[in-house]
Each structure stands twice: as structure tokens, then as C-alpha cells.
Amino acid sequence: MSRIIKSLVVPAHPHPYLCPDANQGWANIRAGFDEARRQIEESDADLLIIYSTLWPSIIGHQIISDPNPEWIFVDHDFHDLGSIPYSLNIDAQFAKDWDAANKARGLQSRCVNYHGFPIDGGSVVALKLLNPDNRIPAVICSSNVYANRAETTVLAKACTDAVEASGKKAIAVVIMSMSNRMFTQPVSPDEDAIHSLKDDEWNQKILEFLGEGRLEDLAQLSRTIQGQIRVQKVVSFKPMWWLSAINGQHNNFNGQVLAYEALHGAGGAVVVLDPSEGGIGDKEFDEDDVENYLGDRNVLDAVTEDSIVIEEQSLAEFDSLVLKTLAKEESGPELWQGTEGENLVNTDAAPKPVGPYPHARRIGDLLYLSGVGPRQAQTNSIPGGPIKDENGTPLDYDIEAQTRACIENIKVILEASGSGIDKVLDVTSFLVDMDRDFKGYNKVYSEYFQDVGATRTTLAVRALPTPIAVELKVIASL
């Protein structure tokens, strides 16, 4: 049973909030928002997850983690309609969890917690209208300018990881126009209409799909829709990829189109999708599914000839090539596939072993984890930086970042094994510089294990196999 209990599509313009009475269509959209709000209030949701096409990002995806962002929003185009002061209730812990889940699946990601950060207008309007009393905490994620279907799909799956781990019941909200071509001249409110008949006909088709609950089918048409009725603005038509993936990529929804009207020529709709047991059926056609983002634009570092060949490799060859490439880039020990076998657990979301062992082993009701460091699953990079370069020259590093990454890796393995961090019984920690690092390590450790009650032993060791400063070994219950 998915923990995404409802999904919404809502428009991005400020008109329904600032001046709904100026145009009957804007009033209809406002009424659609009001009905959606009523349904949200009747649900037992405890989290609103927003994916906004009005917040473009370049360096991966960004997630608001300021627990209470406050400012005044003014639209760049429609500034004459008025200002929207806002004070939002953000689930900062969930934002951090989603960020960690993104990284575990190979995505670039970061949390944003700065006073005065400009929350995008679409998110502000949606939260004002759907959650006016801030009763339900929200989280807001950007839409990456360069992200393709794979990256957007993995972003949604990572969010699902975080939702599942949190135990929350969530409502997913995408902020977008249908057709997005506005009039380029001022028009009076009573002259507003969809920009063209062609745009209107495509919008009607999109709404027909949504009304029938055919979300995955619509996601498969995203590129076509972008080409037919979308002006190439900063962010292209990606929200259906995200929304379908966060729901498990199917067509089984009860769809309600609560409103569809023109917003200065663009198509704005309020749509609610409720998961259902049956529906229109499974996907009519399919694209490759993706679980982890392997990156396609690693332009920051030199690209080797080896990596150019990747697209032409079979999956098995590809895995092998990645392992070799990673090992070569890091100049560290050879990376291994986790040992397979009965009761053995391995996950692609955790760093590759450096020897012939699994990530974890189940024995009865107990789970034994191999030693886990901070290396990242797909990139083999070390958050907080390595402790030395390939010549052995010591480097400055961040023990808190390393410890956090280490424990996040442990969480991933525990969850892949059917356990969790709250079930950890015993921890053995290894530090390569006790004097320097114990304080920082202990600080982060306490964030995760304060209330767990696990026993712990911390040892100083001369070195670890990779250039890391900390490694943890864990025993947990199942």
C-alpha cells in the first residue's frame, strides 16, 4: 500500500489567489483549489510534497529545509496584481531525509535553508490555497533544468524511499501549466482565453487521461506534449514523470478534474488523483525503468574514453565497467560485487564492497552488517573529502560529513534488509584519528542514535582500506 494517498495537479499563476473575482474562469480555478483543500483536510495526510516547475535548478535538485520560510512574493510579470506575504510550515527533517535518499540513489541534491530564500510563486500560491493554516507540514523540491526522464524518475523514487522510511502519509502536488503559452500582450480579465484552439484541444486530451486515472500513460507522452503545446521556457514538461514515479508508475487512479480554465492564455487545471484498486489498466507501453541515477554529464571531472562506451554496453558489462572506472578514478582498492547467497543482503544503494563479502547477513532474528564507511553508492566519492590524496599526502576533511554519510549508508542497508535504524542493537565504530575526530563523530552519532539505546564501542585504528576517517559495524534486530 503506497503511502502517497492522494496526488494533485495545480496551476502556477497567482491570479486565482490574488484576484479570483476579476474573471469567472479564475474564480472557477479558485473553487477547484477550495475543493482540493477540502479533500486534503478530510484526509489523514501528514505531509504535502511539492514539485514545482517554477523553481528551476542547475546543480541537481534543491529541497527547502528552512522550517519556517517567510517573505513576500511578487510575481515578475503580474506584479501589479499585488503581493503575497507568506510564512510556511516546512518538514525540515523530511527534507533532509529526501536529500539523503537522493544521494543514496546517485543524484546531485542539496537542502536549502537560508533566510530570505525566494520560494517560487507556484509553491506559495498552492500552499496558501491548499493549506492556508499550515496545518500539514510541506516540503518543496526544485525542477532541474537539465534533468531527463531518468533523473526525474529517480528523484521521485528517492522521495518514495524517504516517505516509506518516515511512515508518513503524504499528498504529492505538482505545480504546472498544461499548455503554457501566455498572451504576450496585456489582456483585460474578461478577454482571457486559452491561447489557441490547438492548445485547448491538447489540454482537453491531457485532462481526459487524468480524468481516467491514466497517469503513467500521460507520463509516457511527456515529450510529445512538450513539443506540441509547450513553449520552451526554462523547465520543460517533466512533472508527470515525477508524479507517476512517486505513485509507482501505473494507471490505477480515480481522477477528478476540478477545474480547467485560461490563465492569461495558458491552460490551468486543478486535478485530484486518488489511488484505486482497479482502473483503466496497466501501462499500454513502457520505457526503461530506472532505480539509480548513474549520471550522464559528469563534466566536472575528466571523462575517460572508457566511459564514452557505456551506452553501448549490456547491463552486466556496464556494471563491470563502472566498477573498473570508479576504482581507477579513486586509485583505491578494487571494488567488488556483494557476495550473493541465502540470507545475504546487497543493495545498489550502498557503496560497493572492497572484498568478497555482502552488505549484510540475516541469522534468525538478527542482522549483521559488514563495516560501512561514507563512500557514495554510485560515485564512490567521499562526502567531507578523503583523508589523503593518491600520493598519501594528508588532506583536510569533514568528519561530521563523513559520519553522516556513513550512517546514511547504514540506514539504506538496514532498510533493504527489512530492519531500521531504530532496531540497531550494537555499534562498533572505527576512527583513524580519535583525538581529532571523536567530538565531531559523536555529535552526528547522537543525532541518529540518541534514543535508540544501542550499545557502542569506539576504537582507534591506524588505517581503513579506503581514504576515509570513520567506519561503523552494526548488529540489528529484524
- Binding site residues, another protein, CB under 8 A: 55-60, 62, 72, 74, 76-80, 82-83, 108, 110, 112, 114-118, 120, 144, 146, 181-186, 231-234, 264, 297-301, 385
Residue (217 or 437) nearer to another protein, CB? 437
Residue (39 or 148) nearer to another protein, CB? 148
Residue (302 or 315) nearer to another protein, CB? 302
Q: Cβ 231 to another protein, closest distance in Å? A: 5
Question: Is the Cβ–Cβ distance between 122 and 12 less than 8 Å?
Answer: yes
Cell 482565453, residue located: 193
Q: Cβ 29 to another protein, closest distance in Å? A: 19
Residue (297 or 462) nearer to another protein, CB? 297
Instruction: Compute the distance between CA of residue 36 and CA of residue 173 in angstroms, rounded to an integer.
Output: 11
Q: Which three cell numbers stand for residue 285?
A: 507501453
Q: Which three cell numbers stand for residue 426?
A: 550494537
Q: Cβ 391 to another protein, closest distance in Å? A: 15
Backbone φ and ψ for 235, nearest 5 degrees, come out as -115, 130
Instruction: Compute the distance between CA of residue 242 and CA of residue 81 in angstroms, rounded to an integer.
Output: 31
Q: Cβ 393 to another protein, closest distance in Å? A: 15
Q: Which residues pair with 367 in a beta bridge?
A: 362, 476
Residue (116 or 356) nearer to another protein, CB? 116
Q: Which three cell numbers stand for residue 55?
A: 523553481
Instruction: Compute the distance between CA of residue 398 and CA of residue 124 in angstroms, rounded to an integer.
Output: 35
Measuring CA to CA, which residue among 375, 338, 474 is closest to residue 415? 474
> Could you tell me where the beta strands, DSSP code E, fall in 334-395?
344-345, 360-363, 366-369
Q: Cβ 130 to another protein, closest distance in Å? A: 22
Tell me the CA distances in angstroms from 27 to 13, 19, 126, 176, 262, one per residue in order. Answer: 13, 8, 15, 18, 11
Q: Cβ 432 to another protein, closest distance in Å? A: 20
Residue (242 or 430) nearer to another protein, CB? 242
Instruction: Compute the distance between CA of residue 199 and CA of residue 267 in angstroms, rounded to an integer.
Output: 8
Helix H or strand E segment including 172: strand 170-175
Q: Cβ 435 to another protein, closest distance in Å? A: 24
CB neighbours (10 Å) of residue 248?
Answer: 15
Question: Is the Cβ–Cβ distance between 246 and 275 less than 8 Å?
Answer: no
Beta strands 84-87; 253-263: pairing state: unpaired
Residue (78 or 449) nearer to another protein, CB? 78
Q: Cβ 451 to another protein, closest distance in Å? A: 31
Q: Cβ 387 to another protein, closest distance in Å? A: 14
Residue (114 or 227) nearer to another protein, CB? 114
Helix H or strand E segment including 242: helix 239-246
Residue (74 or 327) nearer to another protein, CB? 74
Residue (108 or 247) nearer to another protein, CB? 108
Beta strands 253-263; 266-275: pairing state: antiparallel
Residue (41 or 296) nearer to another protein, CB? 296
- Amino acid in the structure at residue 429: S
Instruction: Compute the distance between CA of residue 29 and CA of residue 259 in angstroms, rounded to an integer.
Output: 5
Based on its alpha-carbon atoms, the radius of gyration of the chain, rounded to whole angstroms, reads 24
Residue (252 or 376) nearer to another protein, CB? 376
Q: Cβ 383 to another protein, closest distance in Å? A: 9
Q: Cβ 264 to another protein, closest distance in Å? A: 7
Cell 540506514, residue located: 411
Instruction: Compute the distance between CA of residue 251 and CA of residue 240 in angstroms, rounded to an integer.
Output: 12
Q: Cβ 360 to another protein, closest distance in Å? A: 30
Instruction: Compute the distance between CA of residue 82 and CA of residue 102 in angstroms, rounded to an integer.
Output: 37
- Amino acid in the structure at residue 307: S
Q: Which three cell numbers stand for residue 332?
A: 583505491
